[in-house]
Chain A
Amino acid sequence: MNKIKKITSYELFLPIMCFILVLLINVIKTPTFFEVSIKNGVFYGYIIDVINRASELVILAVGMTLVVASSGGTDISVGAVMSVAAALCCYILAGGQQTINAYQNPYVLGILLALVVGVVCGCFNGFLVAKMKIQPMVATLILFTAGRGIAQLITKGQITYIRVENYKLLGANIPGIPLPTTIFVVVIVVLITNIVLKKTALGLYIQSVGINAKASRLVGLKSSRIIFLTYVFCGLCAGIAGLMASSRIYSADANNIGLNMELDAILAVALGGNSLSGGKFTLLGSVIGAYTIQALTTTLYAMSVSADQLPVYKAIVVVIIVSLQSKEFKKIVRGLKDKKADGRKEEQVA
């Protein structure tokens, strides 16, 4: 009994169990799920596809985890910020034209400015949340709606195509390397974030501020600066994710890049065993959560659920998870248990 309790109380228990469950369903549905083949020196297979497709989500989940931990709120603008970053990158590279076959400006400049715009969006959110003390979700609601409008403004409402081979590399495979580039980007982002959190005191600061902002101030932390930083970082993550999404379709589609990603990112954080009211967090949990969601998405696609219909299932999962996390729910359950126990006692007495 004790052993079971020990295992279930392990912080990554929930995310890992969910992940295994989803993988099991996948294996049953498609026995070839774990098969990997090599065609033209590139790995192919379901599992590779899941890992590849999950890349944007993993990166967003990393940023979202920190935002949730520090402020107890979520950044719902990440999907829209992705589309802004993608739009700006393509606009710069295309020099304002709609379709190009050669870069009009240096590749690096486009990438850089896209990341900068992500950071700027993060600053805007961070300013509203940390300095103006506006509820995180209301603050990010502004960019959530305006973001796609801004992206369309940049691309003039058209889809900008970048028909240059090396633009596709970020979202595909670099010649000679058998794994998709996105995987490497994810590894780098997760590693760097993890190193920063572990090798500096930032991780401790974020948790401390998220758990008790008053006490944190008294031990010398600047709560609002830390919260601000997490939003900026979340914006940067959205920028990177936007670039990857844009590279996959070698274009900037303001309406569809990053669509519905905010819910997935929040779901990933919650699935990762992190409380949505802030405080202690595990980055690894969110990463596992993100892969779980992608595996789930792939499963649902395999069951011929369309992209438009997916949110229904995800919304149900979100509600179940947050209900389980809710203190009131636990109270109600405990109340029922007590009643049952009382009932039993009474029976015995009778």
Chain B
Amino acid sequence: MEKKKLKLNGNTYLLFITVLLFIVMYIAGIIIFHGKGFGRFQVLLNLFISNAGLIVIAAGMTIVMITGGIDISVGSVVALVCMLLAWMMENKGMDAIPALMIVLVVGLIFGVVQGFLVAYLKIQPFIVTLAGMFFARGLTAIISQEMISIKNEVFLSWANAKIYLPFGGTVNKKGVMLYPYVYPSVIIALLILIIVFIMLKYTKFGRSIYAVGGNEQSALLMGLNVKTIKLKAYILNGFLCSIGGFLFCLNTSAGFVEQAKGFEMEAIASSVIGGTLLTGGVGNVIGSLFGVLIKGTIETFITFQGTLSSWWTKITIAALLAFFIILQSLFAKAKEKVNKVS
């Protein structure tokens, strides 16, 4: 029993570090930007509002990464989804609901094709999704090279429906009580997060995803159909990606070619920061949520600070990603050593 305690459980550590990092960062923010109202509840809610899409996409990314794969096409797929929505509603006069349905199907198709190439042709996920990334971005440009703003009323009503929370309000200068609010996108994102969490934890499919990522050979010997499981994981990811794109679009209400550039990095970083191992087999969406929140907090910092430019976000995220990747690699090495000695 003694021995067991000594062994590093790197995976729990990584998640712990992440949650702690978020809390420390947030408290630091409250202290540094004391005068600017960083501590208001609404600022925290804004983290969710502006990252609703990313939360869903990071959940999808986490699933794929648990199988030992990766998907770098998500940013471009988001752009494609936004562009399709905008184009169908504004240029083709389609209603919001059928447009949404079509977009979800597009996400599914992306998942099927990429999943097939990865699972059945065994092409490196990176190459497949790199091609997917360029394909989706190019397709966006083919649809329209101009920005299309969405003016569809139904869509805008979804986007702008404020849902007030019955607590946590602050009184403004005029003495009016302001209750904090969220948009429907946040509710959808959190609902999906919970569903994915339950799926991963309590269903046969969810557990087989972990098994495949842990040891493909063993999974096969234990009677799991590895190819189908991988394919399904990519399909699910494609579907989540289109939902995420839709939520993202609710925030921007527009479609343009350059949209959501580098989004794949944010999703991967959130997942990795949240404790998902690049080698597969370990990860959970709650961790990824914290990953997203950390990224959001960095952005909020930069906004509150005022003089820093937006590219700082990318650099910081990349630095954080590098840090966590190296940490994972070190944990893996340490574990190897411990195992060898025992």
Contact = CB atoms under 8 A, between A and B. Distances in A.
A153 B315 contact: yes
- Tell which of B126, B132, B314, B329 has the most Cβ of chain A within 10 Å: B126
A25 interface: no
A17 interface: no
Nearest to A144: B265
A324 to B, nearest CB: 10
29 contacts: A132-B326, A134-B329, A135-B278, A137-B124, A138-B126, A138-B278, A139-B325, A141-B72, A141-B268, A143-B318, A145-B314, A146-B317, A149-B311, A153-B311, A156-B309, A263-B134, A266-B130, A308-B137, A309-B141, A311-B134, A311-B135, A311-B137, A315-B134, A319-B117, A319-B128, A322-B123, A328-B120, A328-B121, A329-B121
A-B pairs with lowest CB-CB distance, top 9 = A146-B318, A308-B141, A312-B138, A311-B134, A315-B135, A149-B314, A311-B138, A149-B311, A145-B265
A164 B26 CA distance: 48
Nearest to A318: B131
Nearest to B137: A311
A327 interface: yes
Nearest to A153: B311
Nearest to A264: B134
A133 interface: yes
Interface string A317-336: 01100110011110000000
B138 to A, nearest CB: 3
A224 to B, nearest CB: 13
Contacts of B93: none
B309 A157 contact: yes
A154 B174 CA distance: 44
A328 B138 CA distance: 28
Nearest to B315: A149
A319 B131 contact: yes
**Chain B, interface size: which category?**
35 or more
Interface in A259-292: 260, 262-263, 266, 276-277
B318 A310 contact: no
Interface of B: 70, 72, 117, 120-124, 126-128, 130-135, 137-142, 145, 257, 262, 265, 268, 278, 309, 311-315, 317-319, 321-322, 325-326, 329
B193 to A, nearest CB: 24
Nearest to B332: A133
A315 B314 CA distance: 25
Interface of A: 73-74, 76, 128, 132-135, 137-139, 141-146, 148-150, 152-153, 156-157, 260, 262-263, 266, 276-277, 306, 308-316, 318-319, 322-323, 326-329
B138 A323 contact: no
Contact of B131 (A138, A153, A157, A315): A315
Contacts, number: 131
Nearest to A138: B278
A134 B142 contact: no
Nearest to A72: B124
Contacts of B117: 319, 323
A256 to B, nearest CB: 11
A75 to B, nearest CB: 12
Nearest to B269: A145
A203 B117 CA distance: 32
B311 A148 contact: yes
Contacts of A153: 309, 311-312, 315
A296 B135 CA distance: 16
Given A141-B268, A146-B314, A311-B134, A323 B121 contact: yes
B280 to A, nearest CB: 11
B135 A316 contact: yes
A230 B191 CA distance: 47
A326 to B, nearest CB: 5
A260 B137 CA distance: 11
Given A138-B70, A276-B127, A315-B131, A145 B138 contact: no
A141 B265 contact: yes
Nearest to A308: B141
B138 A308 contact: yes
Given A319-B128, A323-B117, A326-B122, A142 B138 contact: no
Given A141-B265, A142-B321, A329-B121, 15 more contacts: A128-B326, A139-B325, A141-B268, A145-B314, A146-B318, A146-B319, A149-B315, A263-B130, A309-B141, A313-B138, A319-B117, A319-B131, A322-B131, A326-B123, A328-B122
Contact of B145 (A144, A306, A313): A306
Nearest to B318: A146
A327 B122 contact: yes
A153 B311 CA distance: 7
Given A141-B72, A145-B318, A322-B123, A315 B138 contact: yes
Contacts of A141: 72, 265, 268, 321
Contacts of A263: 130-131, 134
A310 B138 CA distance: 6
Contacts of B130: 76, 137, 262-263, 266, 318
A315 B132 contact: yes
Nearest to A262: B130
Contacts of B134: 260, 263, 311-312, 314-315, 318
Given A132-B329, A134-B325, A157-B311, A322 B278 contact: no
A94 to B, nearest CB: 19
A133 B72 CA distance: 20
A227 B117 CA distance: 28
A313 B131 CA distance: 10
Contacts of A152: 309, 311
Contacts of B312: 149, 153
B228 to A, nearest CB: 15
Contacts of B329: 132-134
Contacts of A133: 329
- Tell which of B131, B137, B309 has the most Cβ of chain A within 10 Å: B131
- Tell which of A76, A143, A152, A312 has the most Cβ of chain B within 10 Å: A312
Contacts of A260: 134
Contacts of A327: 122
Contacts of A146: 314-315, 317-319
